[in-house]
Amino acid sequence: MVPVEPDRQRSPIDSPDSPVSPQSESQGGLSGPASPSALILLPDTEEQDLYDLESDDDESDDECDSQLEVQRLPIPPLGNALVFLYLLSPYLRLGALYITDGGDPISLRYGLLTLMFAASLSTFCRHLWFMLGRYLRKFTFEDILIEAFVRGRGQGRQHIFARCIISSAVALFRVLLAAMYFRDSVNSVLQLVPEDMRSFSLLYISAFLGFFVLVLSIPNTVAAKPVIYASTLSTTSYLAWLIAVSHANATGSLGPVTSWPQRGILWIIYSSIVFACTTTLTVPLSASLTGSLVVWPVKQHRTRRFKLLNISSTVLATLLMLPLVAFASLRAINLSGRTLATPSSVLVPILRATTISLAIPSIIVSTPMPRFLHMGHCRPPTTPVKFFYVLSAVLLSLASPSVANTIRDLTLVLACSGTFLLPALTHVTIHYLRRPLAIVVPQEPHPVAASPRSTIAGSRSASRPSVDPLLQRKERYLQRRRLGKRLLWDVGIWLVLIPTCICAFIWAAGCLLGKW
């Protein structure tokens, strides 16, 4: 083995096995016992690029402990078609259906710009989660957050408490989201019931729908066939609903309905468009796609595969939501008397209820079990926990209009924060407030927070006196290279994503305080 120059990229001639290696010719004595320099064999870490969309990945990362990684995946390995389905289906759910439900008339230009901008940010944040998971080598959402916001490593009390908080917060959000879906599904079915029988039918419809969702939510993973079939039928039902609504708008078969669902303070058409672009399950889905390459190796690289699936699903969902934005801008909706113009056809409410209700099982199945329920070695069965989730969602869906408004506003804030703001804060914390992960220098057992000015300064502090100077120079060079390739993401986060989130929260605070 021979020392590798820090400012050179490795090539076949620099291989330690090459008889014509320039290092071996110029420094032949270094390989002997009297050499003052340590003998170092550096891996091809220059080729690993975690933030470049167009570069190749280091395939050697998957060869180490591959079977163990597959066993640790929160979702079993999935093929491209199923990953595409779960990336597409969150767009074609309640948020898209809300676009045509009501609100002040909007301009077609501003509506399309809002849709394009929200969809672009959603794609950006999805790939950001994917890259953060690859950089930290984490498979779950809570592992990434713990790595970013909890000091220290291992399974100490801080980590256990943080996991309990994160899992409980995610479970609360999923239950609130499922309650919204239950309430809208029941309201859609109630449109077909005579008005004098609606109060009597409400409990029976809610109970039947809750039992139906519970049966489909028994599996422990979204890779199970019942959940896959339900998500596929939900997406198909959305397409049929879109066709029915388009036909109703083209023929003018619209009639006033006085039973439109209650909304919260923050719900307007623009916020409905943004809510339609919120997604979940990005981290486990990307890890599941990674695991599929271990089980079924292919020639395509992981980053390019996920990028293709991410962009294609977002583009297709945007095209399927464009007609809804056009319908919302072309219709003048009078909300002074709580009336809403909706298609009077029987098919539209049925397709709407089918689309929403079949989307609930994937939400319940992907809801994590709070960590405090299985602290220690005993893990309770998942079926009672899912029954508790479904029962809680059904009961919340039957709440009074004022409580329902609060639930909708809180769910909107949580969904937008988790999709847009949280990945930005996680990226900033990991790369500006945390010490960068070493590339070739061995990591110290107790890392210390680095200066937020740059990751280069952190890499200098990471160097220990006992580490060979060649490794230190190599580490600094690779950290600069990584920082340069991350500049595009930093610009997008600091100049676009974070300012947009700040403006959105200022608007939300003003609405809640009644300022505008």
Flag whether 507 is in a domain: no
β-partners of residue 343 are 254
The span from the CA of 231 to the CA of 228, in Å, is 5
Flag whether 245 is in a domain: yes
- What's the 3-state SS for 366-432? CCCCCHHHHCCCCCCCHHHHHHHHHHHHHHHHCCCHHHHHHHHHHHHHHHHHHHHHHHHHHHHHHHH
Question: How confident is the model at residue 199, as a pLDDT?
Answer: 85
Between residues 432 and 456, which one has the greater pLDDT? 432
Cβ 297 vs Cβ 223: under 8 Å: no
Lowest mean pLDDT of 69-78, 327-336, 361-370, name the range: 327-336
At 310, list the tokens.
């991410």
Does residue 160 surpass a pLDDT of 90?
no
Flag whether 153 is in a domain: yes
Confidence of residue 130 (pLDDT cuts 50, 70, 90): very high
Flag whether 484 is in a domain: no
The span from the CA of 304 to the CA of 373, in Å, is 39
Flag whether 462 is in a domain: no
Q: What is the CA radius of gyration of the chain?
A: 26
Mean pLDDT on 219-236: 95
DSSP reduced 3-state for 374: helix
Cβ 142 vs Cβ 360: under 8 Å: no
Between residues 57 and 208, which one has the greater pLDDT? 208
Flag whether 37 is in a domain: no
* Total of domains in the chain: 1
Classify the C-alpha dihedral 325-175-130-299 as positive or negative.
negative
Q: What is the residue whose two structure tokens read 């069965």?
A: 381
Flag whether 29 is in a domain: no
Q: How many residues does the chain have?
A: 516
The span from the CA of 438 to the CA of 440, in Å, is 6
Which residue segment(s) compose the domain that 386 sits in? 62-333+344-370+382-408
Cα 458–Cα 138–Cα 435 angle in degrees, nearest 5: 10
At 501, list the tokens.
């989130």
Flag whether 23 is in a domain: no
